[in-house]
Structure 1
Amino acid sequence: MHESSLISGLIRQIESIVHPPPVRKVVGVTLRIGPLCATNPDHLRDHFLLAAKGTIAEGAELKVETIDDPADPNAASVILRSIEVEE
C-alpha cells in the first residue's frame, strides 16, 4: 500500500509539472531512492506501470537510482530526479 500512495503522488506531481501542453507524452521518469526507504526499484516499477495507465505517463520508462549511504540526508526519501518528455 505504501508504494501505491507514493506512485499516485508521483503521477500527480508529473501531471502538474508537464501541464499545460505542448508536452504530448512523458517517455521517461527517473527517481532516486534511499536505503531506508521501505521499497525496492522493481516494486516501484510495477506500481508505476499500473498507476500510469490512462495518464500522460502511460508507457513511460521508470528509472530508479539508489542512494547507498544510510547516513545520507535523503536515505529515507523517494526523490523525483527528472522527467523526459516528447513534445
Structure 2
Amino acid sequence: MEILLIGLILGVGAAVWFARAASKANKKSEADAPKLLDELFNGDAVVTYESGFAAMNFDTVVKGALERGYDLHSKGDRNSYGMQKLVFTKKA
C-alpha cells in the first residue's frame, strides 16, 4: 500500500513539473514569436511547422505567416502528444 502511495505522489509530482515546464516553454515561445516567425518564414516557398504543447500557439503562427506573405496550405491531425503539422506556402 505504501508503495502505491509513493508511486502516486511521484506521478502527480512529475505531471505537475511537466505541465509547469511546458507552460514556461510556451510563454517563452510566445514572447520570442516575432524573432522565431522571421526565422521560420524566411522566404522559402514551402514552410512546415510542428505546433504543439510547448510551441507557439496555432493562432500566433498562422497570423505571423499571413503577415509575412504565407498562406496555411494544410494542417495535420493532432497526434497523441498534441503536436500538429502545419504546412504553409508563400503567396505568389
TM-score bracket, shorter-length normalisation:
0.3 to 0.5
- Quick check: which has more Rg, 1 or 2? 2
Greater relative contact order structure (CA < 8 Å, 6+ sep): 1
* TM superposition score normalised by structure 1: 0.37
* TM superposition score normalised by structure 2: 0.36
